[in-house]
Amino acid sequence: MAKKKKPKTKAAGRKAPAERTARKAKAKPKSRPRRVATARSAGRHEAAVRAVVPKIRGEATKVHSKILTRKTPALRFPVRSLSNVIYRAKKGYFEIKGNT
């Protein structure tokens, strides 16, 4: 005896094909114009890069030499918490305590 076929029902949450294609197109948000680097800001960036890159290379060299001597390399990072910051009301933001 042949089994009776169940009538197909629409699955919960799924839309019929006509409903899927009839969606309204969302308007794309307008993109803001990019800021152009001025000579002044580019100079500050270059100075920061010149100051930081040697420090990164020095730390990388230390880690590399530790690895070559089969010792465990270690990196130390400053703690970022409210115990080592000061709120400057005049400036309106937190500053890190210490020699900065």
- What is the value of pTM for the model shown? 0.44
Please name the residues in contact with 95: beta carbons below 8 A apart, sequence gap of 6 or more. 85, 86, 87, 88
Contacts 24+ apart (CB under 8 A), 93-99: none
Question: Three-state DSSP class for 87?
Answer: strand
Residuewise pLDDT in 10s, the chain (100 residues): 566 666 666 555 566 665 555 566 666 677 777 777 676 777 788 888 899 999 999 999 999 999 999 999 999 887 878 888 889 899 898 888 876 5
Separation between Cα atoms, residue 87 and residue 100, nearest integer Å: 14
